[in-house]
Amino acid sequence: MRRDLIDILVCPLCKAELNLVVFKEEDDQVIEGRFDCKQCNTAFPIDDGIPNMLPPDLRD
């Protein structure tokens, strides 16, 4: 996913801003990483460039 997606994404739980933590990046794309909500501290993983914005309760 593109790094600047952080500007339009918000936490699906509380609508607060997210922090982007990058583990692996290629050609301006975030491959592996994590979004951390600044308010409720929920973490949303980014795997293979795809952010998983599902609340933890709905993940399998």
- Closest approach of Cβ 19 to Zn ion, in Å? 11
Can you name the residues that pair with 51 across neighbouring β-strands?
A: 46
The three-class DSSP label of residue 34 is: strand
User: With respect to Zn ion, which residue has the nearer C-beta, 29 or 39?
Assistant: 39
Contact residues: Zn ion, CB under 5 A:
11, 13-14, 16, 37, 39-40
What the block records as the tokens of 48 is 């293979």
Residue 13 and residue 54 in contact, taking contact as beta carbons nearer than 8 Å: no
- Closest approach of Cβ 52 to Zn ion, in Å? 14
- Closest approach of Cβ 25 to Zn ion, in Å? 24
